[in-house]
Amino acid sequence: MKHFVTTLFTLAFVLAFTLACKKSSDDAPAPSSPTLQNRIEKKWNVSTTPAATGRVSAGADDYTSFEFTDEGKYFIIKADKSQLKGNFTLTVGDSILTLDGLGKIYIDEITETQIIFRLVLTGTSDEVTVTAAPATTVSTSQNTQNLVNSWSFKSRKVNGTPDAAVNSAFSSGGYYLYVTLTDYGTYSVETNVPGTPSQIGIWKWCNTQQTTFGASSNPDVEPTCTGMNVNTVSFNSDGDLVLTATINSNVQEDTYVTKP
């Protein structure tokens, strides 16, 4: 089991379509406006410069970024490098985000280039007003869209042979490993393996073909693309994600399914 934990998290922490009839311009429908849900689904980097409205309060500089995904997840990086994550729900009419285990966000203003909101932590009445701007996405390619998702570890092969110890531990339901990759380069690992903390880091493509990527477990550290940090991306006939890496001279293939 010690070998299982070591090899699993060595990899885990270095992770690595119809024809349509053309309508005339007269028949083309007017583009729809993005919903509030669509507009908040970004990574927002906290501004250190007060907004023109002056609505910036003490405490905003405690935070570096807020990210909200289309899966209803939030990732928050604080200035002290600590990380917060969980699920959120949106009350559209009131423009309120409820962050599980943390508190509520009241959206005062949102545009394509800025969001201003008030964060109220659970158990307090203090408001922290935050001004933030959208981050840049990794890319808008099909390869990126295929990869960004929440994935659940399923099985492993080492040099083409199933790893019985690892596969048994996961198939029995005793352990889980969830990996989430977002459009904005966030890489999150959730697991219940003893002694291994869940973490948030960064992922990036390692080649122009976008077939290999690397990841770091630190949101401030750029991933490297050398050695076992490089993972090759492929998908099997079932649409499952297969990550291949060379670790200690062994070719390791880990298969992930879409997280239920």
**Would you state the pLDDT for residue 27?**
53
Distance in angstroms (rounded) separating the CA atoms of residues 248 and 22: 54
Domain residues for the domain of 54 are: 43-134
If asked whether residues 115 and 181 sit together in one domain, one would say: no
If asked whether residues 152 and 244 sit together in one domain, one would say: yes
If asked whether residues 145 and 253 sit together in one domain, one would say: yes
Q: Model confidence over 17-34: pLDDT tens digits?
A: 222 333 444 455 555 567
CB-count exposure of residue 186 (10 Å: 0-12, 13-18, 19+): buried
Q: Model confidence over 82-137: pLDDT tens digits?
A: 889 999 999 988 899 999 999 999 999 999 999 999 999 999 888 999 999 999 99
Which residue type does 36 have? L
**Residue 177 resides in a domain:** yes
**Number of domains composing the chain:** 2
If asked whether residues 161 and 243 sit together in one domain, one would say: yes
**Would you state the pLDDT for residue 33?**
62
Distance in angstroms (rounded) separating the CA atoms of residues 118 and 50: 14
**Residue 25 resides in a domain:** no
**Would you state the pLDDT for residue 219?**
84
If asked whether residues 121 and 47 sit together in one domain, one would say: yes
CATH of the domain at 152: 2.40.128
**Residue 114 resides in a domain:** yes
CB 177 within 8 A of CB 196: no
**Residue 22 resides in a domain:** no
Nearest partner of 218 among 233, 199, 236, 232, judged by Cα: 199
If asked whether residues 111 and 165 sit together in one domain, one would say: no
If asked whether residues 149 and 239 sit together in one domain, one would say: yes
Cβ-count burial 229-240 (b if 16+ within 10 Å, e if not):
bbbbbeeeeeeb
If asked whether residues 118 and 160 sit together in one domain, one would say: no
Residue with tokens 């960064």, as numbered in its chain: 202
Cβ atoms within 10 Å, residue 245: 22
